[in-house]
Amino acid sequence: MMQETAFEQPASRGYLAEKGFRSWALTLDHKRIGVMYLCTTLLFFLVGGMLGLLIRLKLMYPGEQLLSNHAYNVIFTLHGAMMIFLFIIPGIPAGLGNFFIPLLIGARDVAFPRLNILSYWVFVSGILVILGTLVSPMDTGWTFYTPYSATTGAAVTALSFGLFLVGMASILTGLNFVVTIHKLRAPGMSWNRLPLFIWGMYATSIINVLATPVIGITFLLLACERLFGVAFFDPTKGGDPLLFQHFFWFYSHPVVYVMILPAMGVISEIIPVFSRKPIFGYWAIAYSSLAIAFIGFLVWGHHMFVSGMSTVAGVIFSFLTFFVAIPTGVKVFNWIATMYKGSISLDSPMLYALTFIFLFIIGGLTGPFLGALGTDVRLHDTYFLVAHFHYTMMGGTVMGLFAGLHYWFPKMTGRMLNEKLAKIAWFFIFIGFNVTFFTMFILGMEGMPRRWAQYPPRLQPLHIVSTVGSWILAVGVAVMFANFIRNIFKGDPAPANPWRGLTLEWRTPSPPDTENFEEIPVIKDWPYGYGKKTGAKND
Amino acid sequence: MLGFLRLNEVSHIAGRVDSVFIFITAVGLFFFLLTQGSLIYFALRYRRRKKEEEAETPYITGNFMLETVWVVIPSLLILAIFYYGYVVFMEIRTPPAGAAEIVVTARQWMYQFKYPDGRQEVNQVRVPVGKPVKFVMTSQDVLHGFYLPSFRVMQDILPGRYTYLWVQPMKEGTYDIFCTQYCGTGHSEMRAAMVVMAEKDYQAWLTGEKKAEAKPLAEQGEELVEKSGCLSCHTTDGKPKIGPTFKGLFGSTSHFTDGTSAVADENYIRNYILQPNVKVIKGFQPIMPTFKGILKDDDITAIIAYLKTLK
């Protein structure tokens, strides 16, 4: 197999040893907090996913079959809001980030452990408020555009408060991570020896801290308009519906980089390990994370080309939008170059990492069609857009999450996953994903608008194909989760370093003890020295 | 079903949009083959065989030349894509002078089309082939969209202001109009049809049986101007009075006391009627009263149509 050392039994349950509800609910251990975030966000991934399956089921029929228009509209709103706010945004950062940032930088915990557990409970309280709004569920779409969201009878005000709390949690976590990365790096871990996952998380955390307040305030303004009639967005009283869109997208565009940068960080960790080669272009990848974060703040108007925004603004936003492709391309080229003349093993983490690259390239290459003014007028708010963001968010971020989960499962649980099952799941996920979502590019080009409960019957064959794809995807996800759940309890004991990685988490037992390291390590080299001729073995 | 691959001939602009699309596809395909090809090739070519000793790998940490190449070349290509998209967008946003105007009022969940001669149709609009037509659009409630898939253009419709979309259909036929901005329960049923007619059929319809309902929009506007008291302060013959003359006002440039200026288009006139004196025109006093609550949106649309006739 993979390791050269003797097969180790887990000596102890490490950070998982202490049992009881309070030991989890009031924990200060970043690893437990990370696990709780992962469980919560993955739960909403599954719920949101089932809503997605329901959407696809209804869309097999062009008329008002299976679900009423209103029920469908509520379901796609919940699908989007749940997936985005309760799964993708917190997913990798609060889950894998919490668990692994201190480990990767050689620290015992984050800078503010109490703030950390507080963030989790603020997140949960936001979720409870949001779930409470289901008594009067919204159908505004996850983007809540005014005037509809300001005037509809549904529980938009309560939802605004719930999302404010969820956003608050992101801000606190982001703050925690920025300070942690600056202040708690082990001796000898200079910035040029920082793992690229940390660079990615650093850029992500800066975006979280700077951008999230804007959406928080936007929700408060919306609540004010609904409760007190203060007309920020109501044109009959001198307000402007476009103002809402500007505020909304000023956050929601940077947030897509919050979604993708951690995933890219995971990929930057996995590719070198499974190619047994140093990462190609370390500084290019590190700086590209910062560049993406920066440029990401300048391009929000590309969601508004046909909104009524001025032509001049459209031209400027289109121009700036294209620049985000450059640092993104640098990462993709560098990952592929890392594989050149490597010794590549296609274990499940690597399989998912390669899938990330493959699907994200497709998602990324369909971006220019939307960023270019001349084609956006044809494709905006059609299924082409829906396909684009599912390729980048699911083909990208979610595959990155899956890759990270498979990579770090042994470290977090002390057990190995079943590789065969992992590969079977992967196969169904890959096929199912592409059948479901590639079809949507074609639907968009045929003129199918998004958020349509009913559609012209001539488009039905394509919709049926997409729905069948969603079933294949669901099978894959089910098998994958079965693999996770079974092996948390019954998996083979995992060695400390099953993949022979060079980053610091692999120097701890699987699972790690609560204090992470017996002694804080002193760092003498960067973590990508695979194949380096030092005379010493890589382990 | 493969119609989406055909270059569009329904209008000149649609063909232009498709050309940009094809250009982006070509560039994208190039990068797709390059990257995915390398990815798959490397994954297979350098795959670790199960039984063999792990191959030695070269210690390559980067290559400045390569990094430069794959920053510079994509930069040039994306600039080209941006530019091509921008050029076509400017064509889309510039209606030809003399385009016929049709007023579109959108509301949950229907489109009402008003022709210059006062006719109205719901969820259907008729236009003659070969001539440009400009839709002047506003909403009575929430945001809506106006998408003509065959013509490859769309524009959102907002309450409280006007947005525009123009097309020049070159082929007879009936074309879909879809609402693309989520607007509530009936959003996916909010559809209309644009019927492009041969010139003689169109003329027959124009001069044919006309329901004795609304007067031409401009005539309605003239009546409103008379009975709303506008003429106490404005003339229609070119002479300034207490306020500027209406003759030639539409499309002219107003110069304000704060040094700025603006072209008097539909949105300007609407805003000035509802919120006068926000900017004061040079040479006049800030004493125009507001007509908010007195004139409805439809009234203002009619008045604007009338002002357009006073050249």
pLDDT in tens, A403-435: 999 999 999 999 999 999 999 999 999 999 999
Are B247 and B300 in a shared domain? yes
* pLDDT surpassing 50 at residue A8: no
Query: How confident is the model at residue A5, as a pLDDT?
Result: 44
Q: What is the pLDDT of residues B81-111, one digit of tens each?
A: 999 999 999 999 999 999 999 999 999 989 9
Are B188 and B232 in a shared domain? no
Residue A220 contacts residue A160 (beta carbons within 8 Å): yes
Are B169 and B235 in a shared domain? no
Q: What is the pLDDT of residues A463-478, one digit of tens each?
A: 999 999 999 999 999 9
Please state the rounded mean pLDDT for residues B210-236: 85
Query: How confident is the model at residue B51, as a pLDDT?
Result: 61
* pLDDT surpassing 90 at residue B213: no
Which has the minimum average pLDDT: A91-95, A319-323, B115-119, B124-128?
Answer: B115-119
SS3 for A519?
Answer: coil
From CA A240, how far away is CA A232, in angstroms rounded? 7
Placement of tokens 């940032």 in the chain = A101
Asked if the Cβ–Cβ distance from B149 to A339 is below 8 Å, we say no
Are B87 and B121 in a shared domain? no
Query: Rounded to 5 degrees, what angle do the CA atoms A444, A449, A454 make?
Result: 120
Query: How confident is the model at residue A531, as a pLDDT?
Result: 85
Query: How confident is the model at residue B306, as a pLDDT?
Result: 94
B54 within domain boundaries: no
* Dihedral angle computed from the Cα positions of residues B135, B138, B144 and B149, in that order, rounded to the nearest 10 degrees: 0
* pLDDT surpassing 80 at residue A342: yes
Residue A238 contacts residue A281 (beta carbons within 8 Å): no
- Phi, psi (degrees; rounded to nearest 5) at A261: -60, -45
Please state the rounded mean pLDDT for residues A250-256: 97
Residues 200-259 of A with CB under 8 A from B: 235-236, 238, 240-242
How does B291-308 read in b/e, with b if 16+ C-beta sit within 10 Å?
beeebebbbbbbbbbbbb
Q: Is A339 within 8 Å of chain B by CB?
A: yes
Are B126 and B146 in a shared domain? yes
- Whole-complex ipTM: 0.93
Placement of tokens 């391309």 in the chain = A329
- Of residues B117 and A376, more confidence is placed in A376
Q: Is A308 within 8 Å of chain B by CB?
A: yes
B10 within domain boundaries: yes
Nearest CA in chain A to B5: A445
How far is the alpha carbon of A17 from chain B, nearest alpha carbon, in Å? 37
Are B175 and B251 in a shared domain? no
Tell me the domains of chain A and their CATH numbers.
19-507 (1.20.210.10)
Query: How confident is the model at residue B190, as a pLDDT?
Result: 94
From CA A97, how far away is CA A104, in angstroms rounded? 10
Are B222 and B201 in a shared domain? no
Asked if the Cβ–Cβ distance from A339 to B43 is below 8 Å, we say yes
How many independent structural domains does chain B possess? 3
Are B223 and B187 in a shared domain? no
CA-based nearest residue to B151, from B133, B163, B139: B133
B48 within domain boundaries: no
CATH of the domain at B108: 2.60.40.420
Query: How confident is the model at residue B206, as a pLDDT?
Result: 83
B14 within domain boundaries: yes
Sign of CA dihedral A467, A473, A478, A479: positive
Are B66 and B117 in a shared domain? no
Q: What is the pLDDT of residues B27-61, one digit of tens each?
A: 999 999 999 999 999 999 999 887 666 778 999 99
Residues 446-465 of A with CB under 8 A from B: 446-447, 449-456, 461-462
Q: What is the pLDDT of residues A125-135, one digit of tens each?
A: 999 999 999 99
Are B115 and B192 in a shared domain? yes
- The gap from C-alpha B122 to its chain's centroid, in whole angstroms, comes to 20
Q: What is the pLDDT of residues A524-537, one digit of tens each?
A: 999 999 988 754 44
Query: How confident is the model at residue B132, as a pLDDT?
Result: 96
Of the candidates A236, A325, A381, the beta carbon closest to that of B181 is on A381
Asked if the Cβ–Cβ distance from A241 to B21 is below 8 Å, we say no
CATH of the domain at B302: 1.10.760.10
Asked if the Cβ–Cβ distance from B63 to A280 is below 8 Å, we say yes
DSSP, residue by residue, B214-247: PPPHHHHHHHHHHHTTGGGT--SSS---SS--ST
Query: How confident is the model at residue B56, as a pLDDT?
Result: 84
Are B88 and B104 in a shared domain? no
Bridge partners for B102 per DSSP: B135
CB pairs A-B closer than 8 Å: 261
- Of residues B59 and B208, more confidence is placed in B59
Query: Rounded to 5 degrees, what angle do the CA atoms A519, A522, A524 make?
Result: 155
Are B192 and B266 in a shared domain? no
Asked if the Cβ–Cβ distance from A452 to B89 is below 8 Å, we say no
Q: Which of B207, B239, B271 is the last residue of a domain?
A: B207
Domain around B241: 217-309
From CA B132, how far away is CA A314, in angstroms rounded? 24
pLDDT > 90 fraction of chain A, expressed in percent and rounded = 94
For an interface test with B, the pick among A373, A450, A500 (most B C-beta atoms closer than 10 Å) comes out as: A373
Query: How confident is the model at residue B50, as a pLDDT?
Result: 73
Mean pLDDT (chain A) is 94
Query: How confident is the model at residue B4, as a pLDDT?
Result: 60
How far is the alpha carbon of A465 from chain B, nearest alpha carbon, in Å? 13
Asked if the Cβ–Cβ distance from A340 to B56 is below 8 Å, we say no
B150 within domain boundaries: yes
Residues 112-141 of A with CB under 8 A from B: 139-141
Q: Is B82 within 8 Å of chain A by CB?
A: yes
Q: Is A538 within 8 Å of chain B by CB?
A: no
Of the candidates A145, A375, A531, the beta carbon closest to that of B58 is on A531
- Of residues A150 and A267, more confidence is placed in A267
Q: Which of B158, B185, B207 is the last residue of a domain?
A: B207
Give Cβ neighbours of residue A61 (< 8 Å, ≥ 6 apart): A460
